[in-house]
Amino acid sequence: MTEVKRALILGIGGQDAAYLSRVLLSKGYAVVGTSRDATLANRVGLRALGIEGAVQIVSMAPTDFRSVLQTLRRHQPDEVYHLAGQTSVGLSFEQPVETIESIAVGTLNVLEAIRFEERPIRLYHAGSSECFGDTGDTPATEATPFRPRSPYAVAKACAHNLVSNYREAYRMHACTGILFNHESPLRPDRFVTQKIVRAAARIATHSTETLRLGNLDIHRDWGWAPEYVEVMWQMLQDPHPEDLVVATGRTVSLQYFVERAFANFGLDWRKHVSSDESLMRPSDIRYGAGNPSRAREKLGWHFTRDVDGVVDALCASARDTAKACPGH
């Protein structure tokens, strides 16, 4: 009999962790997920995908080295997917110390604990396109220098470099996926994409609200989260780990996203959206573009939904939710 592979997903409450759990379970893995407090863990995503009962959830604090080491020793994973840490760029300006600790120190603890174990554990680290800063019109590749413009991006850049250093210095099978924006119906309302789509859905059902947004002239590459988690698994199956950019290669403005979302509900966005300076960030990336050619070349990874498909799918989900739960 083939021994069952064990995967440990750090930060089980997020969007990516839920979709990744589904992928790993479909491949026959035993999946353990961590949360700072297992009794309070966010299970919404797992529940929505119908896999809540298939994932064991345990308590682990990434900022506590002993907690990380004990978790590895107790559950003996073959693969670790490090998706934990503060996830909001905006919040990082308000809580920079917590952001640096949860992302950079947390990643260092994970790397050190794996090194202490002296077993061939493979590590995937969730990086971020925010590390590149403003790419201009030239899509970022794996060789593009980092120019972070937020505490979140600074922390992610540090974590990225730690993973690279441990891979080279200790011959660890560790790699970072440099993911550009990726969305799904599992995103919470604090993400601007869901804020837009759900507001449009409410307005279409006779809400009189006005949607307030910050800078509509920022440009991003938006992809589909269920497709992006596939590459996480693929990266750990490759015998020669390296860091890879994951993107669609198409960048559009936030205004384009808003216009398409409202059009999905038969609305003219200009009648329902206003710009609010209080929602502007202290520093923001005007243009973010990624080149995923290396991931395609090395792993054969490809996507099927660019921003148009993403917006349409989010709107379809919001419409279905509105029908099932009037007044949502």
Q: Is the pLDDT of residue 327 over 60?
A: no
Determine the distance from the C-alpha atom of residue 243 to the mean position of all C-alpha atoms in its chain, rounded to a whole number.
16
Backbone angles phi, psi at 178, to 5 degrees: -90, 85
Q: Is the pLDDT of residue 313 over 70?
A: yes
- Which run of H or of E encompasses 281? none
Point out the catalytic residue in the list 128, 129, 150, 184: 128
- Specify whether 118 is catalytic: no
Point out the catalytic residue in the list 19, 152, 166, 228: 152
Cα–Cα distance, 282 to 149 (Å, whole number): 9
| SS3 per residue for 25-79 | HHCCCEEEEEECCHHHCCCHHHHHCCCHHHEEEEECCCCCHHHHHHHHHHHCCCE
Q: What is the pTM of this model?
A: 0.94
**Overall average pLDDT of the 218-230 stretch:** 97
Q: Is the pLDDT of residue 322 over 80?
A: no
- Specify whether 170 is catalytic: no
Residue ranges covered by each domain of the chain = 6-182+223-246
Q: Is the pLDDT of residue 328 over 60?
A: no
Point out the catalytic residue in the list 79, 130, 227, 259: 130
Starting from the edge strand earliest in sequence, which strands make up the sheet with 244-246, in order?
55-59, 30-35, 6-10, 79-82, 122-126, 174-179, 244-246
Cα–Cα distance, 20 to 121 (Å, whole number): 18
Q: Name residue 140's beta-bridge partners.
A: 290
Question: The dihedral of CA 99, 104, 109, 111: what is its sign?
Answer: positive
Structure tokens at 198: 């759900």
- Specify whether 152 is catalytic: yes
**Residue 89 binned pLDDT confidence (cut-offs 50, 70, 90):** confident
**Overall average pLDDT of the 273-278 stretch:** 83
Contact between 203 and 265 under an 8 Å Cβ cutoff? The reply is: yes
Q: Is the pLDDT of residue 219 over 90?
A: yes
What is the average pLDDT value for the chain, to the nearest integer? 93
**Overall average pLDDT of the 56-70 stretch:** 97
> What does the pLDDT read at residue 324?
58
- Residue-wise pLDDT for 119-148, tens only, equals 999 999 999 999 999 998 899 999 999 999
Cα–Cα distance, 127 to 177 (Å, whole number): 5
- Residue-wise pLDDT for 5-23, tens only, equals 999 999 999 999 999 999 9
Which residue is associated with the tokens 């009189």?
A: 208
Which residue is associated with the tokens 């949860």?
A: 102
Provide, for the chain, the percentages of residues in helix, strand and coil under a 3-state DSSP scheme, each rounded to the nearest 5. 45, 15, 40
**Overall average pLDDT of the 77-86 stretch:** 94
**Residue 190 binned pLDDT confidence (cut-offs 50, 70, 90):** confident
CATH classification of 6-182+223-246 is 3.40.50.720, yes or no? yes
**Residue 275 binned pLDDT confidence (cut-offs 50, 70, 90):** confident
**Residue 223 binned pLDDT confidence (cut-offs 50, 70, 90):** very high
CA angle 22/27/28 to nearest 5° reads: 100
More confident residue, 254 or 279: 254
